[in-house]
Amino acid sequence: MKNKNEFPEFVGKTVKRIAGYNDEDWHSITIDFTDSTSLSFRMAPYMTMKAERYRVKNGDVVVRSIRKYPPITENRK
């Protein structure tokens, strides 16, 4: 992946909640931590987010998919 970003300052933090938002004017994934900090990814409009839980080996090699979640599509008025 040529556009890979890592966020080492969040390693070891305990996750409190993960939420995906895909409304007409707001598209984001927010990860809230138990220390009252958050990491938010805001995305361009008109997209569908797909989430997948998977097991990794050696840091970044997908070994097997554990669960695929339903797509989060934009709520257009």
Encode pLDDT of 21-49 as tens digits.
888 777 888 999 999 888 888 876 566 76
Give the phi and the psi of residue 53 in degrees, each rounded to 5.
Answer: -100, 130
Considering only CA atoms, which of 37, 36, 43 is closest in space to residue 7? 37
The reply to whether the predicted model has a pTM over 0.75 is no
Provide the pLDDT confidence category of residue 13 given band limits of 50, 70 and 90.
very high
Reduce the DSSP state of residue 7 to 3 states and report it: coil
Q: Which amino acid type is present at position 13?
A: K
Distance of CA 9 to the CA centre of its chain: 16
Q: In this structure, which long-range contacts are made by residues 6-14, counting pairs with CB atoms below 8 Å and at least 24 apart in sequence? A: 7/39, 10/39, 13/37
